[in-house]
Amino acid sequence: MGKKVIITGVPGVGKTTVVNEALKKLKAEGIEYQSINFGTFMFDVAKAEGVVKDRDQMRTLDRQVQKRLQQHAAQAVAKIQGNVLIDTHASVKTPKGYLAGLPEWVLREIMPDTIVLVETDDDQILMRRLTDETRSRDKEGSRAIAEHQQFNRAIAASYAMLTGCTIKIIVNADFLLDRGAEDMAAVLR
């Protein structure tokens, strides 16, 4: 049985960056992970249906549509064998409130060993979003970012209750990417 590790964190915290650095370290040790992005599985379907043009529009879709895309992605992800690392969100900020990224029916499909929360200071996330030209990141203040990070911890506790998985908090602070990557690698080893 492979390991299933879910990576979460608010948009712009640098999940993908930390994961990629950690995977480089593991590769050098002969440890392989298949790295997948949950949002991409959702987006491929949403794009084919013509309901969105870019991935950042998905969080504003009707809640029922988001849930259907989510369920579809969960089933696809569940089929992947071996060590798998799933880049996703503990909660998604929608115009109508937080949507659980890993509701019970998603967790039952995936049954992760560990859920990682990548975090850093709210104002660092604010700055990272402002300088990211590649994505339509939400424009919000550091209080709102703080609330989202707090909410993610709270909801992650419920995911641990549902699955028995462990919850690991990893800090991706400015200038300390390597420390975050090393902590991530330690979770994946």
Q: Which is nearer to ligand AMP, 57 or 142 (CB)?
A: 57
Which DSSP string do the residues of 89-125 spell out, in sequence order?
A: -SEEEETTEEEESS-HHHHHHH--SEEEEEE--HHHH
Region from 27-35, 38-46, 76-84, 122-130 binding ligand AMP, contact rule CB under 6 A: 38-46
Residue 47 touches ligand AMP, criterion: CB under 6 A: no
Residue 158 touches Mg ion, criterion: CB under 5 A: no
Residue 39 touches ligand AMP, criterion: CB under 6 A: yes
Residue 17 touches Mg ion, criterion: CB under 5 A: no
Report the nearest approach of ligand AMP to the CB of residue 89 (Å).
Answer: 5
Name the residue number minimizing CB distance to ligand AMP: 39
Using CA atoms, how far apart are residues 115 and 30, in angstroms rounded to an integer?
A: 23
- Classify 59 as helix, strand or coil: helix
- Binders in 76-135 for ligand AMP, by CB under 6 A: 87-89, 92, 101-102
Phi and psi at residue 168, in whole multiples of 5°?
-120, 125
The residue count for binding Mg ion (CB under 5 A) is 1
Output the six-digit token pair for 105: 């029916």
Using CA atoms, how far apart are residues 152 and 171, in angstroms rounded to an integer?
A: 14
